[in-house]
């Protein structure tokens, strides 16, 4: 029985690769190789065609980045610092600032963004959003609000981009500014992931009105429901927000 099962498994694998070959316009000779030599042909096809193609998919890139981050979490920062030390250009300084932010060092990141802002690139949108992110991470919300206002005056289109729109809403919320609600609502229309929904729900859940808390619960539930239909890369990208939504729903259920 194991012998026949092994033969069947080889054939199924060969069929899988044959379908892949036809869908990707590989030569007809691959079908002969796969079915004439199911085991050997499948091994050759996997290494010659399937694996190289898989490396270029978004899921493979996400997985590669995750593995790299796990094995060598400081690689991006190390490379950015080395590039800046070799050539201290504004672009390399900004890259280093981004790497420092990602590594959880907003104070040093702020120093680099501030230095870059004192030159001819002072109005560069990427520089300003990096500067605002550093200021926000350090709790300097007033400075972040000023930087974002400068960004929006220079580049009005940035108001409708996901990251600056959400950062602006979070900044107003941290300042207890009256425009926070409208800013969060606007960030939902610009969002490319569920961060805006989750953070808006967090803000609503902290408000005194029952209607706001019910809206927060509805947003958390939407995230959990939508997650059932996400592809793998979307689920990985939004893992933090999904976990926060699940925890918030569980906490709400425990209180009732």
As given in the structure block, the two tokens for residue 112 are 């680099």
For the stretch 223-233, pLDDT in tens is 999 888 888 78
pLDDT tens-place string over residues 23-64: 767 777 777 787 787 778 777 777 777 666 555 444 444 444
pLDDT tens for 59-109 read: 444 444 554 444 455 788 888 889 989 998 889 989 999 999 988 899 999
77-192 fold: 1.25.40
Q: Where are the alpha helices (DSSP H) in the chain?
A: 2-23, 29-36, 38-45, 51-54, 58-71, 75-86, 90-102, 106-116, 125-137, 141-154, 162-174, 180-190, 195-205, 210-227, 232-237, 239-255
The whole-number pLDDT of residue 3 equals 42
pLDDT (tens digit per residue) in 122-141? 888 999 999 999 999 999 99
The chain-wide mean pLDDT, for the chain, equals 83
Alpha-carbon dihedral 230, 232, 238, 244, rounded to 10 degrees: 80
What's the pTM? 0.70
Which helix (H) or strand (E) covers residue 115, if one does? Answer: helix 106-116
Q: What angle do CA 36, 41, 45 make, to 5 degrees?
A: 140
């Amino acid at each position: 029985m194991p012998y026949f099962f092994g033969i069947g498994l080889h054939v199924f694998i060969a069929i899988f690769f044959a379908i892949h070959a036809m869908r990707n316009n590989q030569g007809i000779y691959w079908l002969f190789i796969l079915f004439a030599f199911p085991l050997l042909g499948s091994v050759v096809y996997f290494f010659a065609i399937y694996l190289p193609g898989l490396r270029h998919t978004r899921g493979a890139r996400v997985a590669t980045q995750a593995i790299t981050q796990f094995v060598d979490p400081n690689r991006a920062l190390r490379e950015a610092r080395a590039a800046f030390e070799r050539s201290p250009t504004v672009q390399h300084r900004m890259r280093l600032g981004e790497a420092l932010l990602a590594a959880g060092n907003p104070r040093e990141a702020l120093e680099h963004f501030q230095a870059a802002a004192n030159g001819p690139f002072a109005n560069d949108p990427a520089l300003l959003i990096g500067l605002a992110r550093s200021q926000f991470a350090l709790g300097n919300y007033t400075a972040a609000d000023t930087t974002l206002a400068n960004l929006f005056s220079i580049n009005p289109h940035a108001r409708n981009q996901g990251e600056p729109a959400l950062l602006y809403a979070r900044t107003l919320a941290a300042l207890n500014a009256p425009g926070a609600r409208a800013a969060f609502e606007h960030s939902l229309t610009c969002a490319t992931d569920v961060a805006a929904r989750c953070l808006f729900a967090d803000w609503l859940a902290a408000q005194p009105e029952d209607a706001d808390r019910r809206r927060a619960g509805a947003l958390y539930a939407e995230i959990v429901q939508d997650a059932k239909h996400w592809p793998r890369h979307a689920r990985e990208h939004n893992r933090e927000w999904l976990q926060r939504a699940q925890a918030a729903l569980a906490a709400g259920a425990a209180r009732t």
